[in-house]
């Protein structure tokens, strides 16, 4: 995996987003493993939503907003893997993800 041996902590916003999906990684947990788990959760939920649409449980006009809401819940997937951990040069008091105010 790309970040094997990476001992930089995960960015606080990333940890918050992961916790929202029930994931609480250790520093040694590879980014690729976490991203795959979040991606699997997203795919499960999007397929479940589509199934509800096909069964008539979700009206077509409500489907697109539901998909958009789901994408927002999984916004972490749009963040490059290289930004999931704090930068090597950032201090412990400033461990933000570059370019992200909120995930």
DSSP annotation of 3? T
**In a domain? residue 26:** yes
**In a domain? residue 3:** no
Residue-by-residue DSSP string for 43-83: HHHHHHHHHHHHTTSS-HHHHHHHHHHHHHHTGGGGS-GGG
**In a domain? residue 103:** no
**In a domain? residue 67:** yes
Number of domains in the chain: 1
Q: Kindly report the pTM of this predicted structure.
A: 0.78
Question: pLDDT digits over 3-19, tens only?
Answer: 656 788 999 999 999 99
**In a domain? residue 5:** no
- Chain mean pLDDT for the chain: 86
Question: pLDDT digits over 90-102, tens only?
Answer: 544 444 444 444 4
**In a domain? residue 92:** no
CB 96 within 8 A of CB 83: no
Q: What angle do CA 77, 78, 81 make, to 5 degrees?
A: 75
Question: pLDDT digits over 53-92, tens only?
Answer: 999 999 999 999 999 999 999 999 999 999 999 986 654 4
**In a domain? residue 37:** yes
Containing domain of residue 43, as a range?
Answer: 12-83
**In a domain? residue 18:** yes
Question: pLDDT digits over 30-45, tens only?
Answer: 999 999 999 999 999 9
């Amino acid at each position: 995996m790309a970040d094997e041996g990476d001992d930089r902590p995960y960015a606080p916003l990333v940890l918050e987003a992961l916790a929202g999906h029930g994931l609480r990684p250790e520093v040694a947990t590879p980014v690729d493993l976490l991203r795959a788990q979040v991606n699997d959760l997203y795919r499960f939920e999007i397929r479940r939503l589509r199934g509800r649409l096909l069964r008539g449980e979700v009206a077509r006009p409500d489907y697109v907003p539901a998909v958009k809401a789901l994408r927002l819940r999984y916004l972490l997937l749009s963040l490059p893997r290289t930004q999931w951990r704090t930068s090597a040069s950032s201090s412990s008091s400033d461990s933000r993800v570059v370019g992200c105010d909120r995930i």
